[in-house]
């Protein structure tokens, strides 16, 4: 079982990143061969500051390590260090339909936000993502629900390539958690929690101090009712139930049952805030110890890139040969 996933090193990592992706990276270390990539090339598709991008990349690397990723049990690397990703991206572009890219929901949403300038890179983003995944003959991709469409496109691209040039790529499967796949903004619970597009009080960052986390949950928007149950018209309380269930590693029904006799939302919001603050304490402390040593972080990324290249180079060589590119294998 080979597992691959990429994480953008832009901005501060928030609770949605952690519960929707990072904890599943950790589980992957026990279920198969985990390959995890900091996708800095994808980060170029939106406005960014070059110096900040490097700093955020180190921040994200340290958070992943602090959370429990072990370089001796998985492969952790920086996307731009492995040139096979961009070469395979170009090869796959020629079996990707223009219309397919135009139908991508994320492209529509982000291009609407970038009215002054929409880069071709943003349009091409899903092809590079497909290359990231297919380069490693990936069986499983742990992602949030918002990436489902991109995984489906990756499968379509692989199938089209295989049909035209011969069996080359494994068809990956998305692994989307039933609970916690889409953590919502605490102030606008109809909207996904986001580093760039979320509200300040509604976005819980992994490195927030405990008191800050508790305060954000205390002020979380719920509804006019009193019952702690999921359902229509209860987006805020549903979000809090799923957050607590994920943190405690239990089913949402267990949370509903536990708080069935609650007299209101205030105590429940306090309980969730305390649970999340405690949950992230170890990560925050480990991060503080790891982040200052940039040389050590670079060594881990470089070692991971070497391992990643050993796998991806074989895949790209096979794809080139099947397409008739370069000298015969």
Verify that 248 and 101 share a domain, yes or no: no
pLDDT tens-digit map of 105-128: 888 888 887 778 888 999 999 999
- The rounded distance, in Å, linking the Cα atoms of 70 and 56 is 20
85 and 224 share one domain: no
Are both 275 and 316 inside the same structural domain?
no
Confirm whether 181 is domain-assigned: no
Domain containing residue 137: 2-175+293-323
pLDDT of 55 higher than 80? yes
Note whether residue 99 is domain-resident.
yes
The residue count of the chain comes to 329
Let me know whether 82 and 227 are in one domain.
no
Provide the CATH number for the domain around residue 215. 1.10.240.10
Residues 122 and 216 both lie in one domain: no
Within this chain, do residues 279 and 318 fall inside the same structural domain, yes or no? no
Q: Which residue has the tokens 């958070």?
A: 63
Average of pLDDT values for 278-289? 96
Identify the DSSP state of 19.
I
pLDDT single digits (tens) 74-92 = 999 999 999 999 999 999 9
Please check whether residues 248 and 314 belong to one and the same domain.
no
Tell me how far apart the alpha carbons of residues 73 and 88 are, in angstroms, rounded to a whole number: 26
d(CA 255, CA 269): 12
Helix (H, G, I), strand (E, B) or coil at 3: strand
Q: What is the pTM assigned to this prediction? A: 0.92
Q: Can you say whether residue 132 is alpha, beta or left, with left for phi > 0 and alpha for psi between -120 and 50 degrees?
A: alpha
> Does position 21 have pLDDT exceeding 90, yes or no?
no
How many domains are contained in the chain? 2
> Is residue 242, in this structure, part of any structural domain at all?
yes
């Amino acid at each position: 079982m080979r597992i691959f996933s990429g994480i953008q090193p832009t901005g501060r990592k928030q609770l949605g990143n952690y519960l929707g992706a990072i904890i599943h990276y950790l589980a992957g270390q026990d279920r198969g061969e985990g390959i995890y990539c900091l996708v800095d090339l994808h980060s170029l598709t939106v406005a960014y500051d070059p110096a900040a991008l490097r700093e955020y990349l180190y921040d994200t690397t340290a958070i992943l390590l602090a959370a429990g990723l072990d370089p001796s049990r998985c492969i952790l690397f920086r996307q731009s260090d492995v040139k096979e990703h961009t070469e395979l991206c170009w090869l796959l572009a020629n079996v990707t339909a223009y219309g397919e890219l135009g139908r991508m929901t994320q492209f529509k949403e982000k291009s609407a936000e970038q009215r002054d300038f929409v880069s071709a890179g943003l349009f091409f983003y899903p092809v590079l993502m497909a290359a990231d995944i297919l380069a490693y003959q990936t069986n499983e991709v742990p992602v949030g629900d918002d990436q489902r469409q991109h995984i489906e496109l990756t499968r379509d691209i692989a199938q089209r390539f295989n049909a035209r040039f011969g069996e080359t790529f494994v068809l990956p499967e998305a692994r989307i958690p039933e609970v916690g796949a889409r953590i919502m903004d605490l102030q606008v619970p109809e909207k996904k929690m986001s580093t760039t597009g979320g509200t300040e009080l509604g976005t819980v960052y992994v490195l927030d101090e405990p008191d800050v986390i508790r305060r954000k949950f205390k002020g979380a928007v719920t509804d006019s009712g009193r019952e702690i149950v999921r359902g229509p018209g209860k987006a805020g309380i549903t979000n809090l139930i799923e957050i607590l269930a994920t943190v405690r590693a239990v089913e949402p029904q267990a949370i509903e049952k536990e708080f069935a006799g609650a007299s209101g939302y205030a105590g429940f919001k306090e309980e969730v805030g305390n649970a999340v603050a405690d949950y992230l304490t170890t990560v925050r402390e480990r991060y503080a110890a790891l982040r200052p040593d940039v040389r050590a972080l670079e060594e881990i990324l470089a070692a991971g890139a070497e391992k990643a290249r050993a796998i991806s180079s074989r895949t790209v060589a096979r794809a080139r040969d099947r397409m008739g590119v370069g000298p015969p294998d």
